[in-house]
Amino acid sequence: MTKPLNALGAIALLLTAGCGATGATASDDRPVVLTTFTVLADIAAVVAGGHLRVESITKPGAEVHGYEPTPDDVKAAAEADLVVDNGLGLEAWFARFVAEVDAPHVVASEGVEPLPINEDAYAGRPNPHAWMSPLNVRTYVDNLVVAFSGLAPEHAADFRANGARYRDELRRVHEELVAALAVLPAGERALVTCEGAFSYLARDAGLTERYLWAVNAEQQATPRQVAGVIEFVRANAVPAVFCESTVSAAPMRQVAAATGAAFGGVLHVDSLSTPDGPVPTYLDLVRHDARTIAGALTGTAG
């Protein structure tokens, strides 16, 4: 996992590893792309197709919004050849972080049409969770193809081909998502979650979004927020409510208990799971959330 420290080291590694080694071994001399969170790392790894070593600063299951970078993170970034963030204000810590490192930096969401946050102290700011629309992720892919082609021009044709294939998959997953949620009756199309992270998904699928808090900054629902959601769930006879994997579900379970709505399950937004978990890839994440939402709202989930 170490990088060659000097020219002699690099030559020695080339002699022992040979060219074109793709496994992440001690002799890995591929350019290093450092992303801010696991979802972005997975998308980047698909585009990179093994030509780049893609890593994530935050680990599976970790919360990305209020993350505090460690000295090791700064060191890793200093050794990276490219740093990729989501942008749209997702990584509150990123501007300070990237100011400390020399590696070039690219914003994956550049060019996405943002949806505004409507409530709380964040009202009017862009909603950062643009990846919750697979259609938006096509823009992420385009940005990564350009950035990676600048980083490793000899693999530009592969990056383009990987990107084109992934764009097709993203279109298919978008259609699956819309179809899975199209079965919900007109009066039962409300999606109630902990964080306001589903604005893009709700737009794509024609759902009404309601949440406890706008952005996972404090992760503490105020009594007023809980009361407001309870009122909404009662008024709309919402059958099930949800919370996300990176925050405590306790306040949403309180909503469920107070209203008789089912706790519909855990949704994944801000992090992938570990490889043996339910959402090891971004495409798994979208499919899992669509299935969980549709299952719980139609009463077909366990």
Query: Which residues would be at the binding site for Zn ion (CB under 5 A)?
Result: 197, 216, 270
| Sign, Cα dihedral of 31, 35, 37, 43 | negative
Q: Which of 74/107 has CB closer to Zn ion?
A: 107
- CA 108 to CA 110: how far, in whole Å? 6
In the complex, least distance from residue 247 CB atom to Zn ion, rounded to whole angstroms: 9
Q: Which of 197/266 has CB closer to Zn ion?
A: 197
- CA 182 to CA 73: how far, in whole Å? 43
- Lookup result for tokens 């074109």: 20
Q: Which of 24/123 has CB closer to Zn ion?
A: 123
Q: Which of 97/148 has CB closer to Zn ion?
A: 97
Residue type, 296: A
Which helix or strand (DSSP H or E) is residue 137 part of?
helix 134-151
Helix (H) and strand (E) counts for the chain? 10, 8
- CA 221 to CA 268: how far, in whole Å? 19
In the complex, least distance from residue 6 CB atom to Zn ion, rounded to whole angstroms: 41
∠ Cα 34 39 43 (to 5°)? 75
In the complex, least distance from residue 45 CB atom to Zn ion, rounded to whole angstroms: 21
Q: What is the number of the residue whose Cβ is closest to Zn ion?
A: 270
Q: Which of 13/202 has CB closer to Zn ion?
A: 202
In the complex, least distance from residue 286 CB atom to Zn ion, rounded to whole angstroms: 15
In the complex, least distance from residue 215 CB atom to Zn ion, rounded to whole angstroms: 6
